[in-house]
Amino acid sequence: MTRAFRAEMVKLLRRRVGLLTALAVVVVAVGGTAIVLGGAEPAGPASAGQDLTLESLADAGGGTEVFRRAASFAGFFMFVVFVGTVAVEFGRGTFRTMLLRQPARLRLLAGKLAALLTFAAVVLAVTMVLTWVTARLMAPSQDIDTAAWTSLDGLAAGVADYGAVLFWITGYAVLGTTLAVLMRSVPIALAVGIAWAGPFEHLLQDAWDPASRLFPGLLLEAFVAGGTDDVDATRAFVSIAAYVGIAAAVAALSISRRDVTA
């Protein structure tokens, strides 16, 4: 697993990847902060974590709540990134190249996923700091008091928000990786993933109430939003964890059993 991790890091720790990632971080941090702060309601308490208000943003966790909300805009993008990053290894034949050097398939997949998640964790941390700084700079224009953001409670809320977003990303990563391992083709995996997580789940959500409590994409959205009217954050967390465990088992079974012919 360590070998696969280090090999994946060779691919990730390149100047080009760094520049593109930095650009994405700035766009999410600045653009996302502007959208979140601009959309905050001027009065009234937040209900069930759904609506962000100027008052709730002045709380200790207000600064990192902006990060959490801003990051949620990129959920679908992250899913696509993980599907594409793993599926392309099959389509391009590089999975075969990797297997010839690391034939322990589960270690190979686990190392690759661990490296991608480590990279994502660092990018998230940088994004969170940049979002917090941007929000602090923009907050006066919305008459948001940021004094509590620098308190110990603010730090604790920041850690909780970071952990929540990291868990949320991990959910997308494992589900996306599983889809890629099963489909072994970027266009097919993306088509299936986008169709499922996009129109399919949301159309069913409108037509069938339990959908919000059952479907992984909707649960991930609910979790990162801090819970919804249909499903609270804790239930979403447990359900996602179950999905992640099942998906990981399916991916492991598939990758260890199937022939590599491309």
Query: Which residues here bind another protein, judged by CB under 8 A?
Result: 3-4, 6-7, 10-11, 14, 16, 92-94, 96-104, 108, 257, 259-262
Using CB atoms within 10 Å of the CB of residue 207, give its burial: 0 to 12 exposed, 13 to 18 middle, 19+ buried.
exposed
Helices 94-101 and 105-138, packing angle to 10 deg: 120
Which structure tokens are listed for 70?
A: 């801003």
Nearer to another protein, 51 or 101 (CB): 101
Nearer to another protein, 67 or 95 (CB): 95
Write the CB contacts of 36 (distance below 8 Å, at least 6 apart in sequence).
52, 66, 69, 70, 135
Nearer to another protein, 3 or 235 (CB): 3
Nearer to another protein, 2 or 47 (CB): 2
Task: Quote the least distance from Cβ 13 to another protein, whole Å.
Answer: 10
Task: Quote the least distance from Cβ 224 to another protein, whole Å.
Answer: 30
Q: Are 135 and 37 in contact (CB under 8 A)?
A: yes
Task: Quote the least distance from Cβ 183 to another protein, whole Å.
Answer: 18
Handedness of CA 13, 17, 23, 29 (dihedral sign): negative
Nearer to another protein, 18 or 39 (CB): 18
Task: Quote the least distance from Cβ 81 to another protein, whole Å.
Answer: 15
Using CB atoms within 10 Å of the CB of residue 173, give its burial: 0 to 12 exposed, 13 to 18 middle, 19+ buried.
buried
Nearer to another protein, 97 or 141 (CB): 97
Task: Quote the least distance from Cβ 126 to another protein, whole Å.
Answer: 22
Task: Quote the least distance from Cβ 44 to another protein, whole Å.
Answer: 49
Q: Are 102 and 4 in contact (CB under 8 A)?
A: yes
